[in-house]
Amino acid sequence: MAGQTNDGAEVLADPQHAEMTTHTVLRKVRELIVTGKIAPETRLRAEALAEQLEVSRTPVRSALALLSAEGLVNYSVNRGYTVRPVTIRDIFDAIDVRATLEALACQQSVERGWSEADLEKLAGLAQQSRAIVDKGEWSENTEREWYEINRQFHRSIHRAAQNAVLRNAIRMTLIYPVLGDVARICPSVAAHVPQRFRQLAATVPEHIRESQLDHEKVLQAIQAADGNEAVRLMSAHVLATKTRLHAIATLR
């Protein structure tokens, strides 16, 4: 793909940069949808989103196509792309599928082997999130930072599985936030959750402490090349979100 400099000289676009731009736009638009900042049934215009996100229309169009494949938006010839309402049942179904796929990623990552550098990076991510938990303070910025490290931890395992089909399948289950507490910031879930669970805590929430321990146990299993244990731990780790959501959603 070619472009032009300001003086008219033709240059070749970096396909890797273009892919990163699409993924960045995809993540941002997905966040806007899942957190309710873009309401259900809203028509998504590439031009308006490109202006809002300060990018070209090309990565926006690519991101909308991917969101359609993920089921977050609907496409029709007459209306184009519109936001599909996400129900709490959708969230639970996505968690069930993701638990199986994430466990498979752990298994294949062990079977196919980790490089020393990648294993050190995974351990480093666990250490970074541990430092946040041990500090004890919690805020919107801290929550976002912890969940970003959480996302990188999981993605490192996905990449280590060396299975592009599996990575794409996992991405399609991420219709609930990995950017913050789903019970607090996802409207389709929050509608079923008592108010006290939708308030941001001042100290590290218990479910974050438990999730941190889960990551460390998964890391230990991978370091020990124990694929079966990594599978068991990862599946339980992902399903814990569903168990927690179901428990608090039934409290009135």
Give the per-residue pLDDT at 96.
Answer: 94
Is the pTM above the cut of 0.75? yes
Alpha helices in the chain, H assignment, sequence order: 15-34, 46-53, 57-70, 88-112, 116-135, 140-160, 164-171, 182-185, 187-190, 206-223, 227-249
Contact in structure between 97 and 242 (CB atoms under 8 Å)? no
pLDDT tens for the 252 residues of the chain, in order: 344 434 433 333 444 445 558 888 988 898 888 878 899 999 999 999 999 999 999 999 999 998 998 888 999 998 899 999 878 888 889 899 999 999 999 999 999 999 999 999 999 999 999 999 999 999 989 998 999 999 999 999 999 999 999 998 998 787 655 556 777 777 777 777 777 666 778 899 999 999 999 999 999 999 999 999 999 999 999 999 999 988 887 765
Neighbours of 111 (CB within 10 A): 11
Contact in structure between 171 and 70 (CB atoms under 8 Å)? yes
Domain ranges of the chain: 2-83, 88-249
* Domains 2-83 and 88-249 fall in the same CATH topology: no
d(CA 32, CA 235): 28
Q: Which CATH code is given to the segment(s) 88-249? A: 1.20.120.530
d(CA 13, CA 229): 44
What SS3 class is residue 245?
A: helix
Q: Which CATH code is given to the segment(s) 2-83? A: 1.10.10.10
DSSP one-letter string for 58-90: HHHHHHHHHHHHHTSEEEETTTEEEEPP--HHH
User: How many Å is the maximal CA-CA distance in the chain?
Assistant: 65
Tokens found for residue 161: 């599985």
d(CA 193, CA 184): 8
Contact in structure between 57 and 47 (CB atoms under 8 Å)? yes
